[in-house]
């Protein structure tokens, strides 16, 4: 049997090697079977798998996979711009006006995903502060980070997944990290109860969608407990950031503009966080 180590990139035979994962930890069960804790490299899924089910992925295959990921991101960004979501004056740059997109605070349980997300925010010209914070620490970290940055849009994500072969979809204990996202949403809502003043986007793969919305999120994953893509929360945040405050965020366009669509993400009617001002300073 091939020797596996932490950090190896692998795929699962039982799932036709459809996704690539990084090994986070190796451990033995009470029965003595060797298992691996896995995190998706571009889908926000965390799961366990028997090592005998794993296949190592070589550098060339990983590089090809990442090229596909970045092509998909480029296609998403191009589609976003072609749909003209940015206000007209933003594109025409009238000298008497200046723009203030909604400011984002993004806490991500995965440092690599955070780097990808921050690069995407910058391409979309969304002002953002980002921190790599483990899911179980996000609620505590918010107490310090929220007053420091005073965001208008809060993104709470990382990895998640259902436990066991027959999970109870209505029980928080069936999810790896949904309870942590719920706790963080509750902390944020205690600070800013108004769902238009603070727009919260929360969850990861297979997260407890209904519990997140009930806790106070505006947008959450995952209605059908499916996998969501690393960029889904960013694409939603950008829509909110560039929708004017006197207009509602277009729910249909926002959800359909994500990678996973209605099965992966959903939300409630919410006002945008984009503001304009004048005059524009020459400095």
Strands 153-157 and 199-202: parallel
Whether the CB-CB separation of 90 and 99 falls below 8 Å is answered with: yes
**Interatomic CA distance for residues 99 and 281, integer angstroms:** 12
**Interatomic CA distance for residues 69 and 230, integer angstroms:** 10
Length of the chain: 283
| pLDDT at residue 283, as a whole number | 84
pTM over 0.95: no
Name the strands in the sheet holding 266-267, side by side, starting at the edge strand that comes first in the sequence: 128-132, 104-108, 153-157, 199-202, 219-220, 266-267
Query: What would the pLDDT profile of 86-123 be if each residue is shown by its tens digit?
Result: 444 445 455 688 899 999 999 999 998 999 899 999 98
**Interatomic CA distance for residues 146 and 143, integer angstroms:** 6
| pLDDT at residue 1, as a whole number | 47
| pLDDT at residue 95, as a whole number | 64
Query: What would the pLDDT profile of 191-228 be if each residue is shown by its tens digit?
Result: 999 999 999 999 999 999 999 999 999 999 999 999 99
Strands 21-28 and 34-40: antiparallel
């Amino acid at each position: 049997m091939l020797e596996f180590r932490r950090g190896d990139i692998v795929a699962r035979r039982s799932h036709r090697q459809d996704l690539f994962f990084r090994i986070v930890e190796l451990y033995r069960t009470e029965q003595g079977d060797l298992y691996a804790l896995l995190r998706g490299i571009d889908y926000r899924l965390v799961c366990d798998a028997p090592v005998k089910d794993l296949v190592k992925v070589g550098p060339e295959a990983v590089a090809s996979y990442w090229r596909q990921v970045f092509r998909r991101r480029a296609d998403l960004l191009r589609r976003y711009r072609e749909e003209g979501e940015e206000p007209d004056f933003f594109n025409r740059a009238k000298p008497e006006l200046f723009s203030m997109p909604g400011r984002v605070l993004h806490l991500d349980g995965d440092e690599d995903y955070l780097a990808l997300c921050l690069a995407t925010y910058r391409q979309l010209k969304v002002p953002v502060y980002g921190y790599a914070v483990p899911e179980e620490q996000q609620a505590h970290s918010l107490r310090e980070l929220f007053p420091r940055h005073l965001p208008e849009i809060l993104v709470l994500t990382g990895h998640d997944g259902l436990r066991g072969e027959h999970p109870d979809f209505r029980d928080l204990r069936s999810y790896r990290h949904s309870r942590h996202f719920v706790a963080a949403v509750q902390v944020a809502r205690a600070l800013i109860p108004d769902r238009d003043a603070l727009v919260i986007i929360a969850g990861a793969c297979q997260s407890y969608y209904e519990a997140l919305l009930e806790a106070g999120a505006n947008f959450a994953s995952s209605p059908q407990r499916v996998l969501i893509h690393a960029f889904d929360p960013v694409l939603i945040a950008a829509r909110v950031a560039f929708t004017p405050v006197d207009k509602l965020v277009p729910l249909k366009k926002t959800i359909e503009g994500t990678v996973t669509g209605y099965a992966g993400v959903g939300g409630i009617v919410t006002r945008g966080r984009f503001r304009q001002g004048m005059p524009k300073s020459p400095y």
